[in-house]
């Protein structure tokens, strides 16, 4: 390994302590499953018409969720327990059995219109489901759960949520486990004509003067028209925060549609309200450690990742990582003339998005081959252990730190559109192996994985600079995006197209980590590191 790694001598001391080590990586956690007291529970069954290869078929789309029964202006409204269920009739089942499909796995997308008075915005609620058996005859019911957007509005008035276009991708397998021919079907659905006026499935009063809507079921609303313009204070989806990529790369940086408000939104100096009080915490996805130990840590991170071949970048949205640190170790090294004392920290971590080791979907928009506007919905899936190694040289009056974050991530493409036209990439489009970086210690850390490096300097009684374990800061690196495999549907192979468009080396990554939360041993709050419920207090913002 490069960096200030000491030459060990026979004297070696292990130091226990839970507040010394930290770990950070890429991973958001979306809405919590727990429903708080005073909730509005939604259960709306809506008629849809879905287009299958044989033609239009009636279907029922059912939406369940929980919202706070009332919110204040500026307060985050986060849907919980969200499920989307589609019930196909027997005719649709017959089409699947004709393909010799024995199991089906669904991925869904629901367009959700958000309205407040005359203002409109739109979000996409995505969901996935485990494979289910195809019945001998209909109906076929598929229930998906997944990523949804939070809502924030700075004005008072009732918010209404309207169900719009619904799409579902069906990955099909035979009884022997092989793919059918074709291996997948993409089904587009729209509200049925008789659903007009009944597609509003939730109303949330905002502010003291807002009217209260009935809980639970869809109801007609004059605000149920299709979203057409952004709603001030309703970041659904958030607009791009910065048109430039990290480093010197020019391009388009696009935020994740499910990331909620920008990380820096709502930040203000601590003395704006009460001198000495901590700054208000901006809205952030849940970052909860279940059954924490004294060695459990958590942190938020966000930043940009270039796609060098496309001359653009994507914003990897505000994310959470849960980690468990090992025993910190003090190592005495150097020479007799210049002895050194190093603090070594190791930790392991995992991505956690509603129980899955992956990020939520995020979008990137690029000019493919320099002229075709292409938007892709992407996910980073953890493909192996995540590891951190930090070496801090303890030397008065300076402490010099170097931290390596290593994690194997596979890039998966969920959806792609060229000039607004959907490109059917199928259900299994991904890189053939994990993203990779140049590894300074391949004997200890073999295999393909991304490497991010943070370097920092702290002084006794002074300010810290750069990246420090518990204080956070920038982590940077370069990755190679491998070739793609499994891309395409209906006999069309898109592997070469995506490989030619995206794959390549020297893609710059810059992530900003916030201060870590040591859940069972938090700092007392003048500058709190944890919220009252044990989540990281500091919410970073992306930087180039």
Same domain, 398 and 303: yes
Same domain, 440 and 386: yes
Same domain, 166 and 276: no
Same domain, 370 and 319: yes
103 within some domain:
yes
The pLDDT-based confidence of 481 (bands split at 50, 70, 90) is: very high
The pLDDT-based confidence of 278 (bands split at 50, 70, 90) is: low
The pLDDT, as a whole number, for residue 524 is 54
Same domain, 192 and 115: yes
Tell whether the model's pLDDT for residue 482 goes beyond 50. yes
pTM of the model: 0.52
- Name residues whose C-beta falls within 8 Å of residue 149's C-beta, 6 or more positions apart in sequence: 112, 123, 125, 236, 237, 257, 258, 259, 260
pLDDT, mean over the chain: 75
Tell whether the model's pLDDT for residue 504 goes beyond 60. yes
222 within some domain:
no
Tell whether the model's pLDDT for residue 225 goes beyond 70. no
Contact 36, 69 (CB under 8 A): no
Which one, of 299, 305, 302, 298, lies nearest residue 317 by Cα?
A: 302
CATH number, domain containing residue 195? 2.60.40
DSSP structure class, residue 470: T
Tell whether the model's pLDDT for residue 231 goes beyond 80. no
Same domain, 357 and 483: yes
94 within some domain:
yes
Count of alpha carbons within 13 angstroms of residue 71, beta-carbon side: 25
218 within some domain:
no
Give the pLDDT confidence of 435-464 residue by residue, as tens digits.
999 999 999 999 999 999 999 888 766 777
The pLDDT, as a whole number, for residue 309 is 65
How far is the C-alpha of 389 from the C-alpha of 519, rounded, in Å? Answer: 21
538 within some domain:
no
Domain carrying residue 16: 12-30+234-518
539 within some domain:
no
Same domain, 325 and 473: yes
Total tally of structural domains belonging to the chain: 2
The segment with the largest mean pLDDT, out of 115-124, 230-239, 402-411, 523-532, is: 402-411
SS3 state at 111: strand
Give the pLDDT confidence of 175-194 residue by residue, as tens digits.
888 888 888 888 889 999 88
The pLDDT-based confidence of 26 (bands split at 50, 70, 90) is: very low
Tell whether the model's pLDDT for residue 477 goes beyond 80. yes
The pLDDT, as a whole number, for residue 275 is 44
Same domain, 258 and 138: no
Tokens of 97: 């059995």
């Amino acid at each position: 390994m490069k960096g200030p790694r000491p030459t060990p001598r026979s004297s070696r001391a292990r130091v226990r302590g839970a507040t010394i080590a930290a770990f950070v990586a890429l991973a958001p956690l979306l809405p919590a499953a727990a429903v708080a007291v005073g909730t509005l529970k939604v259960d709306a069954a809506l008629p849809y018409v879905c287009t299958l290869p044989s033609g239009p078929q009636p279907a029922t789309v059912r939406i369940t969720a929980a919202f706070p029964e009332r919110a204040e202006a500026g307060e985050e409204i986060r849907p919980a327990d969200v499920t989307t269920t589609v019930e196909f009739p027997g005719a649709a089942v017959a089409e699947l059995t004709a393909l010799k499909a024995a199991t089906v796995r669904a991925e869904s997308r629901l367009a959700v219109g958000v309205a407040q008075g005359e203002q409109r915005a739109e979000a996409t609620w995505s969901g996935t489901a485990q494979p289910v058996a195809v019945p001998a005859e209909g109906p076929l019911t598929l229930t998906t759960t997944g990523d949804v957007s939070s809502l924030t509005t700075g004005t008072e008035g009732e918010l209404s949520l309207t169900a719009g276009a619904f799409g579902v991708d069906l990955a099909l397998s035979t009884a022997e486990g092989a793919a059918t021919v074709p291996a997948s079907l993409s089904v587009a659905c729209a509200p049925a004509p008789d659903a007009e006026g009944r597609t509003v499935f939730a109303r949330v009063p905002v502010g003291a003067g807002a009217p209260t809507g009935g809980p639970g079921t869809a109801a007609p609303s004059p605000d149920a028209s299709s979203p057409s313009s952004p709603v001030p204070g309703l970041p659904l989806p958030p607009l791009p925060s910065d048109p430039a990529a990290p480093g010197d790369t020019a391009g388009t940086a696009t935020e994740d549609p499910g990331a909620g408000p920008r990380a820096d939104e709502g930040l203000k100096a601590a003395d704006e309200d009460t001198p000495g009080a901590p700054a208000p915490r901006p809205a952030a996805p849940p970052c909860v450690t279940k059954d924490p130990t004294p060695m459990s840590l958590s942190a938020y991170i966000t930043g940009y990742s270039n796609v060098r071949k496309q001359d653009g970048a994507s914003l990897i949205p505000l994310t959470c990582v849960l980690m468990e640190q090992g025993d910190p170790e003090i190592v005495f090294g150097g020479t007799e003339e210049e002895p050194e004392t190093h603090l070594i920290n190791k930790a392991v971590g995992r991505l956690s998005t509603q129980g899955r080791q992956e990020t939520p979907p995020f979008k990137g928009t690029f000019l493919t081959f320099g002229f075709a506007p292409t938007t892709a919905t992407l996910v980073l899936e953890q493909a192996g252990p995540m590891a951190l190694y930090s070496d801090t040289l303890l030397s008065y009056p300076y402490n010099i730190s170097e931290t390596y974050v290593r994690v194997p991530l596979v890039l998966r493409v969920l959806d792609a559109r060229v000039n607004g036209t959907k490109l059917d990439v199928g259900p299994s489009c991904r890189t053939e192996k994990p993203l990779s970086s140049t590894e300074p210690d391949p004997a200890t850390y073999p295999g393909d994985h991304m490497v991010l490096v943070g370097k920092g300097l702290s002084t006794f009684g002074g300010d810290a600079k750069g990246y420090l374990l518990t204080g956070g800061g920038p982590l940077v690196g370069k990755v190679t995006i491998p070739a793609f495999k499994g891309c395409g549907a209906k006999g069309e192979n898109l592997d070469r197209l995506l490989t030619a468009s995206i794959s390549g080396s020297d893609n710059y990554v810059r992530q900003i980590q916030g201060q870590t939360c040591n859940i069972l041993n938090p700092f007392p709050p003048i500058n709190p590191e944890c919220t009252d419920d044990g989540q990281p207090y500091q919410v970073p913002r992306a930087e180039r």
